[in-house]
């Protein structure tokens, strides 16, 4: 069932001007029954002016009379032919004024760490426009030198689940198009839960030039030949002088 305009103010009017039960009013305005009871007690919606649903073409008097007579009757919005076929407005989400200055930093973060995201996805996530995103992509933004990339989730501009959903959608689109992706790109396309759940990849050290020529003892084959050829004991076992031997013979 569709929710009436200014639901809380409508509930205030129905509590003050009808004998409809709290349960019926709560179901009509999509509030909790205890909250409607709080309106009647003056604990909730203090100072809220009632919004007449009859004068605003949302309820008929006959509908209210039927609800007052039958506690099980559910109030229904009045049919409005002009509202038929009206689509929900599409576009960037509303961003509070206090957070609008943080949008360039979040855009730069998304462009840097998730380049696979389309401009339309970034616009929906942080509530911005495509020209602003394009200016940051091309680094032609007027304040680009002072912008530091900051996670939009940390800034409160979007939820982590929304960011993960956008990344997964971009990954599926890229995979469907058959584009080749590197390991780093695939890792970026994973959601936070999937990234944390993966096992750490073993890292193989790069080969050092000439390392294969060393033996386990850390010496080369040439060094071993030199050690064999110039043994320390060979210096103490010098050969006898042949000239002296010849002089001693008679």
Q: What is the pLDDT of residues 145-171, one digit of tens each?
A: 999 999 998 888 888 888 888 999 988
Q: How many CA atoms lie within 13 A of 21 on its CB side?
A: 12
Residue the block writes with tokens 């050690």: 227
The pLDDT-based confidence of 133 (bands split at 50, 70, 90) is very high
Tell me, what's the pLDDT at 1?
Answer: 52
* pLDDT above 80: residue 92: no
Per-residue confidence at 173, pLDDT binned at 50, 70, 90? Answer: confident
Domain ranges of the chain: 7-81, 97-195
Rounded to whole angstroms, how far apart are CA atoms 104 and 152?
10
**What does each C-alpha distance from 37 to 10, 40, 220 come to in angstroms?**
14, 5, 90
pLDDT band (50, 70, 90) for residue 102? confident
Of 171, 175, 203, 173, the C-alpha closest to 190 is 171
Label residue 240 by pLDDT band (50, 70, 90). Answer: low
pLDDT value for 190: 55
- Please write the tens of the pLDDT for every residue from 184-222: 555 555 555 555 555 555 554 544 444 444 444 445 455
Residue 30 pLDDT grade (very low, low, confident, very high; cuts 50, 70, 90): confident
Average pLDDT across the chain, whole number: 75
**pLDDT tier, 112 (very low <50, low <70, confident <90, very high otherwise):** very high
Give residues with Cβ within 8 angstroms of 73, minimum separation 6.
Answer: 24, 66, 67
More confidently predicted of 46 and 233:
46
- Weakest mean pLDDT among 48-57, 74-83, 128-137, 211-220: 211-220
176: confidence class by pLDDT, cuts 50, 70, 90: confident
Query: For residues 10 and 46, which has the higher predicted lDDT (pLDDT)?
Result: 10
> Positive or negative, the Cα torsion across 49, 55, 57, 62?
positive
């Amino acid at each position: 069932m569709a929710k009436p305009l200014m639901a809380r103010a409508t509930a205030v009017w129905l509590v003050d001007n009808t004998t409809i039960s709290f349960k019926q009013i709560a179901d009509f305005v999509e509030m909790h029954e205890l909250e409607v009871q709080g309106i009647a007690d003056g604990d909730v919606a203090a100072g809220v002016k009632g919004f007449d649903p009859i004068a605003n073409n949302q309820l008929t008097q006959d509908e209210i009379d039927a609800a007052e007579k039958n506690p099980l009757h559910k109030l229904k919005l009045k049919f409005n032919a002009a509202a038929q076929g009206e689509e929900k407005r599409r576009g960037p989400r509303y961003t509070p004024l206090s957070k609008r200055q943080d949008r360039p930093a979040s855009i730069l973060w998304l462009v840097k760490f998730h380049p696979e995201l389309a401009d339309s996805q970034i616009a929906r996530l942080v509530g911005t426009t495509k020209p602003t995103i394009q200016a940051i992509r091309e680094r032609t933004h007027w304040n680009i030198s002072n912008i530091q990339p900051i996670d939009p989730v940390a800034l409160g501009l979007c939820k982590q689940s929304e960011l993960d959903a956008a990344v997964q959608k971009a990954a599926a689109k890229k995979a469907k198009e058959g584009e080749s992706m590197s390991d780093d790109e695939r890792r970026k396309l994973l959601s936070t839960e999937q990234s944390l759940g993966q096992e750490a990849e073993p890292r193989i050290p790069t080969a050092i030039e000439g390392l294969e020529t060393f033996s386990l003892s850390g010496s080369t084959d040439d060094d071993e030949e030199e050690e064999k050829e110039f043994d320390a004991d060979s210096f103490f076992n010098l050969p006898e002088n042949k000239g002296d031997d010849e002089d001693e013979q008679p």
